[in-house]
């Protein structure tokens, strides 16, 4: 997916991680990039874990006819 915008508030997570990588990897290694990636992955996993029953129930309802 390609997003072209001058608005800083519409920046995607991977663009921010790439910006961190380009500016900090040479000094600190990949630890900061891995931490940023882990945080960006944890958010959807936690949301799914909290709302798992409702998500599965919604999927089950749409499958019934």
Domain assignment present for residue 48? The answer is yes
- 24 or 46, which is more confident? 46
Domain around 19: 12-63
Domain assignment present for residue 42? The answer is yes
| Mean predicted lDDT score pLDDT of the chain | 79
What pLDDT score was predicted for residue 45?
94
Tell me how many domains the chain contains. 1
Overall pTM surpassing 0.85 (yes/no)? no
Q: What is the mean pLDDT of residues 15-33?
A: 74
Q: What is the mean pLDDT of residues 7-19?
A: 74
Domain assignment present for residue 7? The answer is no
Nearest to 15 by CA among 2, 28, 27: 2
Q: What is the tens place of the pLDDT at every residue in 31-53?
A: 777 888 888 899 999 999 999 99
Q: Are 39 and 20 in contact (CB under 8 A)?
A: no
């Amino acid at each position: 997916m390609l997003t072209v915008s001058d608005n800083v508030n519409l920046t995607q997570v991977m663009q921010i991680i790439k910006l961190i990588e380009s500016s900090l990897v040479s000094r600190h290694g990949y630890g900061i990039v891995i931490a940023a990636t882990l945080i960006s992955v944890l958010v959807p996993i936690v949301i799914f874990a909290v709302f798992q029953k409702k998500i599965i129930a919604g999927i089950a309802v749409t499958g019934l006819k």
